[in-house]
Amino acid sequence: MNRMKRKPDVSKFHLSKDPDDFLNGAIADKAEKKQSKVEVKKTETQQKIFRLPVDVINALKLHVAHQQVETGQKISETKIVEKLLREYLKL
């Protein structure tokens, strides 16, 4: 007889500690994370597609790569284009 096994009953299994504490960091870190979430303010965005010459696209990619090496942070092409447009349009 081939019988399928049932899933184990884990309703009686209780932990004294939350396993996510280890994965997410210490309790003090949780407090810091909550504060940083409050500071983030999202602006509404829309997608816009542009056709640009290949030399402009290559220059943008190269610039982004250099910025990432200099700052040690991930910088997107979108951020660079947005910054340049804001400067150009004086926003």
Is position 65 within any domain?
A: yes
* Per-residue pLDDT at 87: 94
> Is there a domain that residue 68 lies in?
yes
Residue stretches of the chain with pLDDT short of 50: none
Residue 57 lies in a domain: yes
C-alpha 76/C-alpha 84 separation (Å) is 13
Query: Domain containing 69: what range?
Result: 46-91
Residue 34 in domain: no
Residue 9 lies in a domain: no
Report if residue 87 sits inside a domain.
yes
pTM of the full structure? 0.50
Q: For residue 15, is it within any domain?
A: no
Is 36 within the bounds of a domain? Answer: no
Which pLDDT value is given to residue 35? Answer: 59
Cα-based distances in Å from 65 to 25, 38, 82, 86: 31, 31, 17, 21
Counted domains in the chain:
1
Residue 44 is predicted with a pLDDT of 87
> What's the confidence (pLDDT) of residue 52?
93
